[in-house]
């Protein structure tokens, strides 16, 4: 479950703050969707905020893995996401905690207006405040590798369709990792289909098939295109706020565990 939560954090951050070009860039060992080393790196501070297109919705992520004996593991989690007209984003994610027999909720607020991100823990009423990276400090991510063992990436334009009630443009990317690149005896093919809302500039559907990690599907549903309550993007006055510097590569730190 911890690994799935890590995957969801990356997916949700990308979906909430994807820039206008609406492209997920992939390369060997970096752009693969799935609960493993190929997880896409996309934290809120690493994306250009989208303004003038407020919305709220529910993001559902399902991961399905088939084991060698034919047994299947299916996990699904949901998160609420809000974005205001200034590009501020709030994500509420609740994950089951089998060890404690209860669910754990974490809240992320990405505030490009104030220049900070916040990780809130409602159970302890604490928050971690982290400065956002400046555009000049962001390093390019997910560029395809070079050399004879580099992954071969083939994009395909899927046109425009209505997905979950929203007009969206689709692309399919087929990435082939050649034999021997990562110790694999045969080539590995990863297929990712992404549909980006033309109005909101966020993914409404992402489907990935990766033989290393299984199938991952993320959907954005119950979308309301209106301005959310401004209080959602503020830390409650009764929270204890701790300010910390950026972590490695500008990633936001996780909130304290319950």
Nearest to 79 by CA among 7, 30, 168: 7
Taking the CA atoms of residue 114, residue 120, residue 125 and residue 129 in that order, the dihedral angle to the nearest 10 degrees is: -40
Averaged pLDDT, 180-199: 94
pLDDT band at 14 (very low <50, low <70, confident <90, very high): very low
| 28 touches 177 (CB < 8 A) | yes
Q: Does the pLDDT value for residue 165 go beyond 60?
A: yes
Secondary structure (H, E, C), 109-163: EEECCCCEEEEEECCCCEEEEEECCCHHHCCCCCCCCCCCCCCEEEEEEEEEEEE
Q: Does the pLDDT value for residue 32 go beyond 50?
A: no
Q: In this structure, is the dihedral angle defined by the CA atoms of residues 142, 144, 146 and 151, taken in order, positive or negative?
A: positive
Confidence (pLDDT) at 154: 94
Tokens 């934290």 sit at which residue?
43
pTM for this entry: 0.74
Q: Does the pLDDT value for residue 135 go beyond 70?
A: no
Domains and CATH numbers, the chain: 2-138+212-250 (2.50.20)
Confidence (pLDDT) at 250: 41
Q: From CA 40, how far away is CA 6, in angstroms rounded?
A: 10
Averaged pLDDT, 34-56: 57
Averaged pLDDT, 207-222: 94
Helix then strand count (H, E) for the chain reads: 1, 12
Averaged pLDDT, 52-71: 92
| 133 touches 126 (CB < 8 A) | no
Q: Does the pLDDT value for residue 45 go beyond 60?
A: no
Averaged pLDDT, 179-195: 93
């Amino acid at each position: 479950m911890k690994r799935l939560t890590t995957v969801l954090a990356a997916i949700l951050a990308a979906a909430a703050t994807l820039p206008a070009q609406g492209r997920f860039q992939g390369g060997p060992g970096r752009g693969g969707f799935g609960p493993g080393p190929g997880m896409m790196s996309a934290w809120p501070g690493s994306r250009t905020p989208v303004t003038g297109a407020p919305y709220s919705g529910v993001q559902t992520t399902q991961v399905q893995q088939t084991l060698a004996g034919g047994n299947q593991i299916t996990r699904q989690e949901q998160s609420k996401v809000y974005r205001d007209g200034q590009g501020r984003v709030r994500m509420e994610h609740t994950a089951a905690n089998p060890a404690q027999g209860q669910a754990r909720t974490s809240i992320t607020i990405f505030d490009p207006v104030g220049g900070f991100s916040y990780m809130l823990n409602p159970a302890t009423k604490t928050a971690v405040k982290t400065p956002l990276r400046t555009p000049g400090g962001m390093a390019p991510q997910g560029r395809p590798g070079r050399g004879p063992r580099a992954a071969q990436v083939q994009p395909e334009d899927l046109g425009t369709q209505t997905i979950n009630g929203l007009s969206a443009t689709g692309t399919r990317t087929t990435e082939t990792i050649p034999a021997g690149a990562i110790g694999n005896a045969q080539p590995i093919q990863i297929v990712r289909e992404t549909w980006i809302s033309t109005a909101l500039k966020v993914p409404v559907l992402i489907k990935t098939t990766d033989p290393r990690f299984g199938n991952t599907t993320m959907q954005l549903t119950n979308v309301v295109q209106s301005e959310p309550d401004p209080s959602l993007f503020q830390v409650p006055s009764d929270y204890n706020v701790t300010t910390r510097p950026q972590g490695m590569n500008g990633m936001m730190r996780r909130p304290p565990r319950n």
